[in-house]
Amino acid sequence: MTVLQIAVICAAAPLLQGGMKSLRAKLAGRPGPSITQPYREMAKLLKKETLLAEEMSPLATLAPGLALGIAVVFAAAIQFWGNPLNNFVDIIALAMLLALGRFVLVLVALDSRSAFAGMAASREMTFAALVEPALILGVLGGAGFAGIAPLLSAAAIIIVILVETARVPIDNQETHYELTMIHEGLVLEYSGPLLAILQYAAQIRQLCFLLLAALLLPGSGWLVHLIWVPLLAIGITLTETFFAKVRLFEVPQLLTAALIFSIMGLLLRNGALPL
């Protein structure tokens, strides 16, 4: 059962990325790529030669596989009945596992001696630290409970998703300007198969995060929850189209909002707030 779940999530992840990219292009009035483009891109990258900055430590070749393995653990941890995460890994262990992948990737970026990668690394670690409380408290607050509390928690998780999947108010996946990159800047030195693995891991993580938020949103039965996934993807794409990136030092305000939502969700759930 878990193997089937992992297989479906891994197979569908690039499709979600392709769909969002294609929709964003259409909304901007461009014809845009087909929704199967990420698969072709991956096949292309896998065939290419690997280039890497000289004198890098072995961490550089370990990091992509590590990220993919962690993404697969995330896919295995999603549970469609009861709690959104199964007993195999809870949200605290999951958050720390995701932090492991990020930590190694940031070390590789600093190892590459590029100031752009260093800048991206610094921003990535800062925002990751700031969203960690909202992620943990949000999932704890929303898990398996009806009423208004899960809505607050889901709002927190959606803001977390914008950060974790490098979406517009915080980051921009389509930028080609090194100074504004966060996630792209981190993997600037990667190419060929290693880059393909990293991109695939990011796509799996993105789908898993959307599933996690969908399972916190209202509905009964896992099919109803699944309908939320495309709705959330469309919502994120609309945000990307109609809003500009906020200034770097205004992002913490957004993250503080997420933290407050998640704290209120958890307190409401346990009856400490009279509502």
User: Segment 105-164, which members bind other proteins (CB under 8 A)?
Assistant: 106-107, 109-119, 121-123, 125-126, 128-133, 135-137, 140
Q: Does 215 bind other proteins (CB under 8 A)?
A: no
The two tokens of residue 75 are 């896919």
Q: Does 92 bind other proteins (CB under 8 A)?
A: yes
In this structure, how many other beta carbons lie within 10 angstroms of the beta carbon of residue 66? 17
Binding test (CB under 8 A) with other proteins, winner from 63, 156, 168, 202:
63
Q: Which stretch binds other proteins (CB under 8 A): 21-29, 82-90, 157-165, 204-212?
A: 82-90
Q: Which stretch binds other proteins (CB under 8 A): 13-21, 24-32, 164-172, 262-270?
A: 262-270
Is the Cβ–Cβ distance between 13 and 204 less than 8 Å? yes
Per-residue interface string for the shown chain with other proteins, residues 22-61, x marking contact by CB under 8 A: ---------------------------xxxxxxx-xxx-x
The two tokens of residue 3 are 């193997």
Q: Which stretch binds other proteins (CB under 8 A): 13-21, 87-95, 168-176, 207-215?
A: 87-95
Residue 35 or residue 95: which is nearer to other proteins going by CB?
95
Residues in contact with 75: Cβ distance below 8 Å, sequence separation at least 6, in sequence order? 5, 6, 9, 10, 204, 207, 208
Is the Cβ–Cβ distance between 101 and 134 less than 8 Å? no
In this structure, how many other beta carbons lie within 10 angstroms of the beta carbon of residue 185? 25
In angstroms and rounded to an integer, the radius of gyration of the C-alpha atoms of the chain is 18
The residue type at 34: S
Residue 154 or residue 229: which is nearer to other proteins going by CB?
154
Is the Cβ–Cβ distance between 97 and 89 less than 8 Å? yes
Q: Does 194 bind other proteins (CB under 8 A)?
A: yes
For the bound state, the minimum distance from the C-beta of residue 216 to other proteins, rounded and expressed in Å, comes to 17
Query: Residue 112 gets which letter from DSSP?
Result: T
Binding test (CB under 8 A) with other proteins, winner from 36, 69, 82, 224:
69
